[in-house]
Amino acid sequence: MSQNNNGVYFSFLVSENDAIKLNDFGRDVLGLDMENSGCSYESRKHASLFASKTRNEVDYDQIVKDRENTTITVQPVGWKIIKSPNTGKDCLALMINSDELIKHHEEIKQITGLNHAFDSFITYISLHYDVHFTKVDINNLPVRNFDIQ
């Protein structure tokens, strides 16, 4: 979780072993420079969970603590380019299916009483920031069949 004076952001970090697998895949299969995939905060492999442009007096640390031992296994289903609201750069997102992430998103929304900062909540893992793929490129990228925690 991160927070500033204006808002709050929650995400689940990908396990260290799976982050290595994703980095290897990005480098070896997709030809990406995985050492330069964004700022140190953004380059951590993570699944966004909830973002709000505002905050209130909720105990955000308790929300994190309640989820600190949570393990969610997901399967990749495709790719999408998502523009980073922080940097304006294109993020290569590995789309995933996860009812569990959706459940946690809805719980945080209910606990905080805040609105999600985006029109819809989609489940994905941020793989690389500052990519220069076209829509055709994205449609032709391979999707590996492996579980990610």
Q: What is the DSSP string of 80-138?
A: EEEE-TTT--EEEEEEEE-HHHHHHHHHHHHHH-PPPSSSS---EEEEEES----HHHH
Question: Would you say residue 5 has pLDDT above 60?
Answer: no
Report the length, in residues, of the chain. 149
Work out the average pLDDT over 127-144: 84
Q: Say how far apart CA 52 and CA 116 lie, in whole Å.
A: 5
Residues 94/45, Cβ–Cβ less than 8 Å: no
How many angstroms from the chain centroid is the CA of residue 98? Answer: 12
Q: Note the pLDDT tens digit of each residue in 32-51.
A: 888 766 666 566 788 888 88
Work out the average pLDDT over 139-143: 86
Residues 8/113, Cβ–Cβ less than 8 Å: no
Work out the average pLDDT over 104-130: 89
Q: Say how far apart CA 58 and CA 37 lie, in whole Å.
A: 33
